Structure 1
Amino acid sequence: MKIQASNPKREEIKDEFKWKLEHIYESVELWEEDFKKVKNMVNKLSEYNDRIAESSDNLLESIKLSANMSRLFEKLHVYAHMKSHENTANSFYQSLADRADALGIELEAKSSFMMPEIISISDDDMEKFYKENNELGFYKRYLDEIRRMKPYVLSKNEEEILAMAGELAQAPGNIFDMYNNADIKFPMVKNDDGKEIELTKGRYMALVESSNREVRKNAYTALYSTYKNHRNTLAAMLNANVKANIFNAKVRKYKSAREAAMFPDNVPIEVYDNLIDTIHNKMHLMYRYMALRKKLLGLDELQMYDIYAPMVKDVNIEIPYAEAKDTVKKGLSLLGEEYVNLLDEAYENGWIDVYENQGKISGAYSWGCYDSHPYVLMNYNDTLDSMFTLAHELGHAMHSYYSDKNQDYVYSQYKIFVAEVASTTNEALLMDYMLKNTQDKKLKMYLLNHYLEQFRATVYRQTMFAEFEKVIHEKVESGESLTADLLSEIYANLNKQYYGPDVEMDEYIEMEWARIPHFYSSFYVYKYATGFSAAIALSSKIINQEEGARSRYLEFLKSGGADYPIELLRKAGVDMTTPEPIEKALMVFENLLNEMENMVQ
C-alpha cells in the first residue's frame, strides 16, 4: 500500500483527479437563487393542505409541485454536502450543508399532509379523477404506491399520536449509538510491533486481520470482554427496540414486525424465509471453507479470532490508479461498448474525486442528483481493495446514470433492496476477469481468498444476522422477554450452526449481538445477502454469455423505481421469491472453493 509522507492539501491535488461539482452549480450565487426558489415552492405547496382531494386538478398540481420541489432540493442538498466532503474543515461549506439539512426538515414537515390526503381519496373518486384528467394517468404507479399503504394507515388523530411517539420508538437505537460511539472504552492491547495501543472499533479489524495470532486473540478478547461487562444494559436496549417494532406493527395491524418492515418494499415474507432455508441447505460449503482456512493457516484449532486472518500471506499488490481504471474497463467490457464508453466519460470528465487530501471525508461513495451526472468519491491508495472499490462505486454510478436518463424524476429512485446489485455485479465481473487473466499462483489464491471472504461475510454472516433478528422478534411476539442470557444463547447456537465443526466456540462470540448497529435498523441486513446473491446470479449469466442476459441487465439499470424491486429483478432474470438465485450464487461459491482446494493439495 502506497502511503504518502504527508497528506496533501486540496489545492495540491491535480485537477484531473478531482470531481467537477461546477457541473451542478457554477457558483454559490446560483445555489442561493435555487435555495430561495425552494423556500417559495414549499410555501406554495402548503396552500394545497386539506385541498388535494377536492379535484383532479388539485391532486395533479400538488404532485407536480412536490416533485419539482424535491428535485430542486436534491440538487441543493447534494451540492452542499459534496462540497463539504472535499474538506470537512471548510466552515463555509459546512454551513451550506447545515442550511440544506434545515431546509430538508422544513420540506418534510410542510409536505407531510400529502400522503394522508391522497390515501383519504376513495377508490371511486380516484377512478373519476383518472377519467377527468388524462395527465394524471402518468402518476398512477406513484399514487398506487402511496395508496397501497392504506390498510395500515390510521386516522389523522391516531397518526398524529404515533408521530409524537416516534422519538420514543427511536430511543433504543439512539441510546445504543451514544453508548457504542461515545461512551464505550476498550482496554489497551499490543499491535504487531508490540506497542501498547488503545483498542477502538476502527482499529479492531486491522488487529484481527494480523498475521500474529496473539495480536488477534488479545484484540478479540478485549473487545468482547468489554461488551460482556455491560451485557444486561445492552440486552435491555435491544429488547426495547424489538418491543417498539412490535408495538408499531400491532398498532398498524400488520401480522408481524417482519411484515411491517418488508411491506414498504412490497417484498414477500417468503423471500426472507427462502434465504434462510437455502443457506441452511448449503451449510456444508461454509464448513468446507472453514476447514480450508484451518488447513492454510496451519492450525490445530480454528478460533473465532482466526476468521479474518488472511489465508494467503506475503502478497504485495500495488495497483496505481491509471492501471486500476484500465483493468476495471477490461473487466466490465462484457457489459458492452456503451457501458465502457460511459466509464471513459466518468474517468475523463470530472465524475471521480480520486485521492485523499487534508480534511476530506473518509471512505467511498457514489452520489449525485437527477440534474447532474453521478459522482464517485474515493480515497484511492493503490491497493487491490481500492480497485474493487472503484468498480463497486462505478456500479452505483452507472445504475443512477441509466435510471436518471430513462425515467422521469418520480420514478428514477431505485429501492435499497436492489441498491447493491449493480455494484456487486461490477465486482463479480472484475473478479472473473482477474482470475482468468492471472497466471501467478499466489496472486490467484489471494484473489480467491478475497472473493470467498465476500461470500462468507455478505451471504452467510448477514443471513445469520437476519435469522437472529427473526428469532428474537418471534420470541417477544410469543410473550418472552429478551434477557442477556437468552440473547447470548440464541446467538451462540446460530454461530455454531453457521460456522460448523472446525471452528471452536468460546464465551466471547456469544456477545457479538451486542455490537451490531444494524440490529437497531431491524430487518435490513437480509437485503445485503439477497442483493449479493442476485448480483452473482446475474453476473454469472453475463459471464456465460447467456442469450439476452446483458440486455436484460441493462434494462434493469434503466428501470430505476419504475416497478417494485422484486419485479425488476424478475425481468432481469432472477426471481428472488424462489431459492434459485441464492442456489446459483452458492454454486459460484462452491466452484471457487473447488479451485482453491485443488491449488493447495
Structure 2
Amino acid sequence: MVKSLPIRSEVKIEETWNLDDLFKTEDDYNAAVAELEKAVAAFVEKFKGNINDAPSVNEALKGYAAIYEKTVPVGTYTSLASSVDQTNDEAQMRSSKYGSTAAKINSKLSFVNSELSELPLEVLEQAQQQSTDFKNYLDKLIRKKDHQLHPEVEKTLAAFSSTFNGAYGLYNTTKMVDMSFDDFEVDGQKYPLSYVSFEGAWETEPDTDKRRAAFDAFSAKLKEYQHTTAKTYDMHLQTEKTTSDVRGYDTVFDYLLFNQEVDRSMYNRQIDLITKELAPHMRKYAKLIQKVHGLDKMTFADLKIPLDPTYEPKISVEESKKYINESLAIMGDDYLNMVDRSYKERWIDFAQNKGKSTGAFCSSPYGNHPYILISWTGSMEDVFVLAHELGHAGHFYNANREQNVFNARPSLYFIEAPSTMNEMLVANHLLKNSDDPKFKRWVISSIVARTYYHNFVTHLLEAAYQRKVYERIDAGGSVNAGVLNNLKRSVLEEFWGEDVDINDGAELTWMRQPHYYMGLYPYTYSAGLTISTQVSKRILAEGQPAVDEWLEVLKAGGTESPAELAKMAGVDITTEQPLLDTIAYIGELINQLVVLTEEIESKQ
C-alpha cells in the first residue's frame, strides 16, 4: 500500500545525508561565500591584464584552480540543501541568492579564458611544457579558441549565467512545488499519488486496474502543466541555439557535443543502431510480460511491471549493504571502504518526503566526499539504483584524489560507464550464487527491467526524441506542448511498433525528465552501459587484471577522451562492434527469460 509522503521535518535523521560535512552552520556557509568573494577580488586585482607569458599563465591557473575549489562546497551545499525539499523556502531563497552571486563571480573571472585565448599558441604550448598540471586545461582551451568571443562579450554572457540557467529551476519548481496530485480511485477505494510514489511504486504495481488508473491520474495532472513546461523547455532550447550561433558552431549539435569530445557520428550511431537493432528484442520482452500477466493488451503503462511480482523480496537499507558489499568486493578493499563509509557517515539520503527531487543522483564535490540522493522504497530495484550511484561515487572518489580540480571530471559521454558497471557487478554476483530458476529469472528480469530498460530503452528513446527536438530548433523553429507530444509519441510508436499500445498519456513522458536541461545527456547512458557491459564481461573472464585496468580508468578522471578511456579498459568505441555485442547480450538475456518462464510454468 502506497502511503502519503511525510514532510521533510518528519523523516528520521538517520535516513538523511549529513550536510554538516560541508558546512556545520549557516554562519559557516555565509563566511565561506564572503571568503570566496574576497578571494575573487584579490585574484582579479593580481592577474587581470597580467597574463602575458608562460610563467604567468601557470601562476594564474594555479590561483584560478584554488578559487574553483572554494566554489565547490558552497555550490554543492546550496544545491543539495534545496534538492531534498523543494518546498523549503529558506533553501530555495539561498539557492536563488547564490545563483546571483555565482553569476557575478563568473563574470569577474571570465577574463582568465579570454586573456589565455588571446595569447599566441606558442606561449600556451610553452606553459604546458613548464607545468603538466594544467596541460589538459590548456588543451581544451586551445580547442575552443575559435569559439571564444571578445572579452567584454564573455564577461556579459557570464553575468547572465543564472538567467540562462533559470529554465531548469523553473522546470523543477513546476514539477516539485506547483504540481500536487489528487488521490485516485479504484473500485470505490482511494489511493494517494505523488511523483515519487508513481515512479517508485505505481508504475510497477502488479494489479493492472490500480497501475493503469495511477498512470491515467498521473498523466491527467501532467497534462494540466504541459503548456507551462513546454514553454520552459523552449526557453532553454532557444538559449542553447543562440549561444551556439553566437559562438560560431555550425549546428547546435556541434556546440553541445564539443565538450563531450565526441563527434556527431558516435552520437548518431548510438541512437540509430539501438533504435533499429534493440527494438525486436524489447518487443519480445513486452510480449513475455503480457503473456505472464495475462493482459488483454500490452500498453505503455504496463512496460515496467516485474515478470514475477510475487518473488520480489523487500529489502531494507541495512540488508542492501550485504548485497552491495558482496557484489563490489572484486573492486578491492579501498573501494569497499568507501562503500562502508557512505552508509556509516550518512553520505546517502534515503528518505521519502514531499518536495524531494525525483530519481537518484550522486554529487561528488572536489575536496569532499560524494553525496547520494535516492528515495528508498525497499525493492530490489533500489539496490541496483544505489549500486549505480555508488559507481559514480567510486569514480570521483578515485579521480578527485588522483587529479587536480580541472582534470577530475571526464566527458559526459563516459560519465555513466562506472555507474552502470556496478549494476552489472551486482547482477553477475546474484546470478553466480543460485541455480534456482525462479531466482535466476528474477535476477535476469531485474537486469533487463532495471539496468537495460532504464539505460538502454528509457534514456535512448529520450535521446531519439531529443534529437528530433534539436533538429527542429537548429532549423530555426520552436516547440510547444503539441509539437513535443507528437514527437515523443512518434518515437515511442516507432520503437514498440504494433506490440505495445502507446496509450493516452505516454506522449507526456517528456515532461518527467530533467536531463533535457543538461544538453545531450540521455544518449550517454547507453554509451556508458555499452562500455561497462564489455568491461564487466572482461572482469568475469579475466578477473583481477581487468579490475586493475578499470581502477586505473577511474583514477584517470578527465585526462583522456572517452575513446581513450574506453581503450584503457580494453574497449574500442570508435567502431560499432561493442554496441552490437551489447545489444546481442540483451537479446540473450531476454531469450533466457523466455526459457526460464517455460521451465517454471511447466512445473506449476
TM-score (norm 2): 0.83
RMSD of aligned alpha carbons: 4.2
Contact persistence 2:111–2:151 (CA under 8 A): no
SS in 2 for 1:149: helix
SS in 1 for 2:309: coil
Structure 1 residues 448 and 109, CA gap change in structure 2 (3 angstroms): same
Q: Which residue of 1 aligns with 2:404?
A: 408
Contact persistence 1:52–1:114 (CA under 8 A): no
Distance of 1:87 and 1:163 partners within structure 2: 28
Q: Which residue of 2 aligns with 1:47?
A: 45
SS in 2 for 1:339: helix
Contact persistence 1:52–1:59 (CA under 8 A): no
Shift of the alpha carbon at 1:560?
1.2
Distance of 2:324 and 2:235 partners within structure 1: 46
Q: Which residue of 2 aligns with 1:56?
A: 54
Structure 1 residues 18 and 495, CA gap change in structure 2 (3 angstroms): closer
Shift of the alpha carbon at 1:166?
6.1
* Structure 2 residue runs without a partner (length 5+): 599-604
* Structure 1 residue runs without a partner (length 5+): none
Contact persistence 1:364–1:377 (CA under 8 A): yes
Structure 1 residues 404 and 354, CA gap change in structure 2 (3 angstroms): same
Contact persistence 1:354–1:378 (CA under 8 A): yes
**1:289-304 alignment runs, 5 A limit:** 289-304=285-300
**1:112-511 alignment runs, 5 A limit:** 112-127=110-125, 129=127, 134-135=130-131, 137-159=132-154, 162=157, 176-177=171-172, 179-183=174-178, 189-190=184-185, 194-196=188-190, 199-205=193-199, 206-225=201-220, 238=233, 241-279=236-274, 280-344=276-340, 350=345, 352-353=347-348, 356=351, 365-376=361-372, 382-454=378-450, 455-478=452-475, 482=479, 486-511=483-508
- The answer to which of 412-421 and 237-246 deviates more is 237-246
SS in 1 for 2:259: helix
Distance of 1:26 and 1:11 partners within structure 2: 20
SS in 2 for 1:190: strand
Distance of 2:343 and 2:208 partners within structure 1: 41
Distance of 2:346 and 2:167 partners within structure 1: 39
Paired positions, count: 594
Distance of 1:83 and 1:171 partners within structure 2: 18
Structure 1 residues 232 and 45, CA gap change in structure 2 (3 angstroms): closer
Distance of 1:296 and 1:252 partners within structure 2: 54
Distance of 1:94 and 1:167 partners within structure 2: 14
Q: Deviations over 1:81-126 (max 9, x none)?
A: 7789899999999999888767645533332221112111121333
AA matched with 2:281: L
Structure 2 residue 65 is matched with structure 1 residue 67:
yes
Shift of the alpha carbon at 1:376?
4.8
Give identity over the alignment, percent: 23
AA matched with 1:260: Y
- The answer to which of 409-418 and 391-400 deviates more is 409-418
Structure 1 residues 344 and 219, CA gap change in structure 2 (3 angstroms): closer
Distance of 1:471 and 1:21 partners within structure 2: 40
AA matched with 1:140: K
Q: Which residue of 2 aligns with 1:519?
A: 516
Distance of 1:224 and 1:90 partners within structure 2: 26
Distance of 1:334 and 1:157 partners within structure 2: 52
AA matched with 1:145: K
1:568 aligned residue (548, 565, 569)? 565
Distance of 1:301 and 1:339 partners within structure 2: 46
Distance of 2:283 and 2:412 partners within structure 1: 31
Contact persistence 1:366–1:375 (CA under 8 A): yes
Distance of 1:168 and 1:11 partners within structure 2: 34
Contact persistence 2:328–2:425 (CA under 8 A): yes
Shift of the alpha carbon at 1:141?
1.6
Distance of 1:553 and 1:164 partners within structure 2: 40
Distance of 2:92 and 2:238 partners within structure 1: 37
Shift of the alpha carbon at 1:338?
4.5
Q: Deviations over 1:284-311 (max 9, x none)?
A: 1111111111111112311122112232
Q: Which residue of 1 aligns with 2:529?
A: 532
SS in 1 for 2:184: strand
SS in 2 for 1:408: coil
**1:74-89 alignment runs, 5 A limit:** 74-76=72-74, 78=76
Structure 1 residues 540 and 194, CA gap change in structure 2 (3 angstroms): farther
Contact persistence 1:319–1:382 (CA under 8 A): yes
Shift of the alpha carbon at 1:497?
1.7
- The answer to which of 373-382 and 24-33 deviates more is 24-33
Q: Which residue of 2 aligns with 1:580?
A: 577
Distance of 1:471 and 1:2 partners within structure 2: 37
Structure 2 residue 551 is matched with structure 1 residue 557:
no
Structure 1 residues 380 and 129, CA gap change in structure 2 (3 angstroms): closer
Distance of 1:493 and 1:89 partners within structure 2: 35
Bigger radius of gyration: 1
SS in 1 for 2:542: coil
Shift of the alpha carbon at 1:248?
2.7
Distance of 1:164 and 1:78 partners within structure 2: 20
- The answer to which of 355-364 and 73-82 deviates more is 355-364
SS in 1 for 2:465: helix
SS in 2 for 1:270: helix
- The answer to which of 394-403 and 378-387 deviates more is 378-387
Contact persistence 1:552–1:572 (CA under 8 A): yes
**1:586-601 alignment runs, 5 A limit:** 586-601=583-598
Shift of the alpha carbon at 1:332?
1.6
Distance of 1:12 and 1:231 partners within structure 2: 35
TM-score (norm 1): 0.83
Q: Deviations over 1:129-175 (max 9, x none)?
A: 557xx23x431221121232111122235445655776776676666
Structure 1 residues 314 and 246, CA gap change in structure 2 (3 angstroms): same
AA matched with 2:214: A
Structure 1 residues 37 and 246, CA gap change in structure 2 (3 angstroms): closer
Distance of 1:52 and 1:291 partners within structure 2: 67
Q: Deviations over 1:361-398 (max 9, x none)?
A: 67765445443444556665654234334423322222
Shift of the alpha carbon at 1:271?
1.5
Q: Deviations over 1:315-346 (max 9, x none)?
A: 25133444432322221223245434554555
